Amino acid sequence: MYKVIMENECGCFKKSDLKNNNTFETRQEAHKYATLAAEIMNEDFCGKHSFYAQRAYGDIYVIRVTTGDTPTIGTSCSTPATDGWEDELNSNSGNCGSGYGCN
């Protein structure tokens, strides 16, 4: 089994329909999910963070969060990031309070 972990759950992640600690039968499925989830978060979340998928060790992929001077463009943190993309992820999927959220 391969696992995809969200390293730090920002407020946008918590408000979304994405889930943490997903498991997959193959490395390809895990890689595809991690990459797609990071892309969706970069496009749909508030834009104060950047997300990227990385194979960590063994059978684990990690979606990491970074903050930077040039945030990605996204929607408001108060808006749940759901545009029907949760179907594409095959259902595997304000004040943030995590230190990674919006103001």
Q: What is the pLDDT of residues 9-28, one digit of tens each?
A: 989 999 999 999 999 999 99
Report field, pTM of the whole predicted structure over 0.85: no
Domain assignment of residue 59, yes or no: yes
| Domain membership of residue 23 as a residue range | 2-73
Burial of 29-48, coded b for 16+ CB within 10 Å and e otherwise, reads: bbbbbbbebbebbbbbbbbb
Domain assignment of residue 61, yes or no: yes
Domain assignment of residue 64, yes or no: yes
Closest CA to 39 of 54, 48, 29, 50: 50
Q: Which pLDDT score is estimated for 57?
A: 86
- Residues 102, 83: Cα–Cα separation, whole Å: 20
Q: How many domains does the chain have?
A: 1
Domain assignment of residue 24, yes or no: yes
- Residues 7, 65: Cα–Cα separation, whole Å: 7
